[in-house]
Structure 1
Amino acid sequence: MSIFVILGLLVCTETRGSSAVTPVFVQKGKDVLLNVRTADVPQNFVILSWGFNKKVLVTYSPDKEPTVFLVYTGRIETDVKKYSLKLNNLQEADSGVYTARLTGEEERILAEYNVRVQGPVSPVELSVDSVSSSSDSCNLTVTCRTQDSHISSTFTCDTQTCSQEGGERSEVTTSGASLHVYLLNDSIICNHSNQVSWTEDIKKTKHYCPQHADPESLSAGISVCLVKTVVFSVGLIIMVSAVICVHIMEKLKKQK
């Protein structure tokens, strides 16, 4: 009977302790381990409990095995030496604040974790909508798109640099993730991410703006072209010289 009275007090009693709540982000279907500082647990405590949404999940008592409440059996793992709480196969409904509460000569909160369960983000696609160019610059308009959102942006490239009109573009999608499109060196990057996963798609500006191509690549292309031209010219000269020599030799034979 006394254990149920104590549990009732655990739920209803406001205790003092650390007000710091630690944020924890977990991918859906994964596990999370929540700990307390064992140095903060006195030897003469009565009960150390882990609670969630005013419900007690598990209790620790000195020299006894932990008690896991039936509704959570199979989803919770305990460690009698560390007074920890391990939650398995987390789902969105498991998001919330988990509190480690100490009852004894004093009542206080040992730790609080704000657990947020998130699913992996969906794939993202970066498409080039239009390209307009002149002799010294070109403009690219692109769209960064995911299942439930999209953003567009324009980039201008000259022979030296590229710039993004208005700077980096970003927004929060309806699923709570972040969608970004930005410029990094000569790459346009479309990124879709939350705290547990990310996907991205990349386009190279030089594929759409030849004047912004890598100078080394251009030099290599010019060098190859020059070599081919020289080889062709030398070969042509040799062929013409050979034809002239044969013609001269035939003419000399006839004069004899």
Structure 2
Amino acid sequence: MSGLSRALCSNSMRPVFIALSGLLVASSISADPVVNGTVGESVVLLAGFSQQSDITGVEWSFGTDVIANEGNINGTKQFKDRVHLNRTDWSLTINLLRAEDSGEYNCAFETATGQLPTHAVTLRVYEKIESEVTRKPSHETCRATLLCTTNQREHVSYRWKRGDQDLPEHAGILEVALSPGEINVTFTCIASNPVSEATASIRESCDYIAFVTESSGGVSFCVLKSVLLSVGLVLMISAVIGVHVRDCMHTKRNVRRHRAACET
């Protein structure tokens, strides 16, 4: 091949080499990920770029605001002094996360061959979850409705345990039925969100006497105690009266005997 032919071939292939180079660099950018973070803690957003030597410029933005670039690695605007741009892998660290930090972050690259497709990262910031178990008011003794409540309304999942045994229910409400004589049975709710987990417990009992009373006629345990107390009081008064009458009769007999002895 002559020198002119080689030159023509070289010139004609140059755009192809540039295009292939761009495709190779673009292929090193990962798919758009989703990252979860916790309020008050830190999170690292990866740039998704592996060929650091080819990069001539990097810019992280949040919405329409540029928050960090190779010339300002410590952040701007709402992220001032809360972010740090790593010059080695161009990842972005966000400290002291706030709920309003949730959203889409875009990382734009420039190389010697031009600008690459923007790499997007979606950040979702959650509060640490807190849970509490309460008993729905009820007049039933051995049945209860337990409610598990949290400080969050979305992205919450539930699990229940009876003692150490996992239950099949996966909602914030649990219907409980105990057998007569079961005392202090622990029911635990495990509530979780994508970044944290919290547990809360409550104890339930099934009093045997109360269960029998309800089953036999619906008489409440309080009424039964009142009746028993009244019967006990009547019996005590009757016993006192009986002793008093017996003493009186005994005294009368002694008086008769004494009169009979004096007359003789």
**TM-score using structure 2 length:** 0.48
Bigger share in helix: 2
TM value normalised by structure 1: 0.50
**Higher gyration radius (CA):** 2
